[in-house]
């Protein structure tokens, strides 16, 4: 019902930057809390950042000051600007849409690899 498609992942050197995008198919995008999560091999999926429908943001301690989440409701898209990337940031990054009434939906994930 809600389709999320991530893009922008890739391979970068430590200290580099990437910008991830997540495009949502649903017209009710603007009422959802949007988030980015990541999962490294053999580990659980962890929160990276969220942005509410009102624009309030929240970040994991490990990415504060380096990552910025934003949304463009007119384009049904949420972004994650990642600067000063570290090898520890290597993971599959997943887009998430959280609706209070409808539940949570996930994208397919995009690989981010940071080399040292």
- Per-residue pLDDT tens digits for 51-94: 999 999 999 999 999 999 999 998 999 999 999 999 999 999 99
pLDDT of residue 1: 76
- Rounded mean pLDDT of 5-22? 97
Half-sphere exposure of 43 (CA within 13 A, CB side): 14
How far apart CA 110 and CA 96 sit, in angstroms, is: 12
Q: How confident is the model at residue 6 (pLDDT cuts 50, 70, 90)?
A: very high
Angle at 4 between CA 95 and CA 66, to 5 degrees: 25
Of 25, 44, 47, give the one whose Cα is nearest residue 36: 47
pLDDT of residue 56: 96
**Exposure of 82 in the CB half-sphere (CA atoms within 13 A):** 34
């Amino acid at each position: 019902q809600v389709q999320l498609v991530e893009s922008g992942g890739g391979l970068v050197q430590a200290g580099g930057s990437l910008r991830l995008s997540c495009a949502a198919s649903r017209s009710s995008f603007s009422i959802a809390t949007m988030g980015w999560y990541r999962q490294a091999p053999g580990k659980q999926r962890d929160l990276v950042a969220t942005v509410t429908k009102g624009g309030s943001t929240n970040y994991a301690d490990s990415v504060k000051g380096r990552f910025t989440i934003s949304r463009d409701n007119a384009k049904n898209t949420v972004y994650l600007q990642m600067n000063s990337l570290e090898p520890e940031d290597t993971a599959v990054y997943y887009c998430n849409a959280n609706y209070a009434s409808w539940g949570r939906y996930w994208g397919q994930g995009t690989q981010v690899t940071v080399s040292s």
